[in-house]
Structure 1
Amino acid sequence: MIRRWFDARGAVERERFLMDTTVTWLIGNLGFLAYFLAKAPVYSFAAFGRMIDHRPEALAAMGPPLAAVALALWLAQVWAMAALSSKRLHDMGHAGWWAGLSLIPGVQILFWIALCSWPSKDSAGVRAA
């Protein structure tokens, strides 16, 4: 499973891409989520979103050990999302270097939605026939 997330070679279908990227996002934000659940006076999606949007302040408030773990998980998430995006692009018949778009803030959510909804190269040919 770990190799599937971090190796950019090969291809991955839509359903697997959606599942893997969702799990990757959850694991990548696990440190922030643990800190939020331990320290937040009121649990809300808005408060968690503010913490995720302001990672440097959240990392400073966590302290060095927890901040190092949270940062390591987040960096692993960035690598895994780029590798999974590259595999999904290969499945769609495109070059994997377009996965760099998954690293641009603001573009990444639109890129992820496109990757989740675009058909595979083989299934597109089946539909056209």
Structure 2
Amino acid sequence: MTDFPAAPAGAVQVPRPFDLHGRIGRVRYLAYSFGAMIVLLLAAIVLGALLGAIGAGPAVAAGLMQVLVGTLMAAANLVIARRRLHDMGKSGWWGVLLLVPLLNIVVTLWLALGKGDEGPNAFGPPPSPNSRAVIALACIGPALFVGMVVYSAVDAYKTFGERTRSANSRVF
């Protein structure tokens, strides 16, 4: 077993979102992933405004934003996943599976739902307890995602219904 330096009495070490070492639990994994997505979305909006201001064409601006934001999101996701994998007692190299299309969905669900090791493991002491802010951010992310999926499904159903009614009105 690996010995870890003892924290001072009464001190709680709060992990930083993009540390490369240490462990994070399921709640922090969701919160950090959602937080990174929000930050990168805001960066994309600012970048789009800047590219529009300097006169870059829409296709060039969209391409640059897609490459930059996609690369940064993949890097952030790999860093966060590495720490979550460490909590589960696995090597951070398993995070490379997040780069494989379709398999990344299964791996993300595994990281979000899988149980971490209780007590210390080879990658460090157990994660510190979650703050209320972390718990709130972890709840808001999936709720917004489900809301967007439901909204898209309802909108698609409405559009389909309108097209069907207009097509049927022309037949009769």
1:107 corresponds, among 86, 103, 110, to 103
Q: Which has the higher helix share?
A: 1
Q: Which amino acid aligns with 1:71?
A: V
Q: Once the two structures are aligned, what percentage of the paired residues are identical?
A: 23
- Give, in whole Å, the separation in 1 of the partners of 2:101 and 2:40: 16
**CA distance 1:25–1:100, change in 2 (3 Å):** same
Output the amino acid matched with 1:24.
A
In the alignment, residue 109 of structure 1 is paired with which amino acid? I
**Equivalent pair of 2:17/2:32 in contact (CA under 8 Å):** no
Unaligned runs of at least 5 residues, structure 1: 36-60, 124-129
TM-score by length of 2: 0.47
Aligned in 2, Cα 1:62/1:105: closer, same or farther, shift over 3 Å? Answer: farther
CA RMSD of aligned residues (A): 2.7
Per the TM alignment, residue 26 of structure 1 is displaced from its structure 2 partner at its CA by 4.3
Aligned partner (choices 13, 17, 35) of residue 4 of structure 1: 17
- CA 1:102 to 1:8, structure 2 compared with 1: closer, same or farther past 3 Å? farther
Distance 1:114 1:83, change over 3 A: same
Q: Partner residue of 1:83?
A: 79
Q: Is 1:14 aligned to 2:26, yes or no? A: yes
Structure 2, gaps ≥5 residues long: 1-15, 49-56, 120-172
When the two structures are aligned, how many residues end up with a matched partner? 94
- Determine which structure has more spread, i.e. the larger CA radius of gyration: 2
Moved over 4 A (4+): 26-30
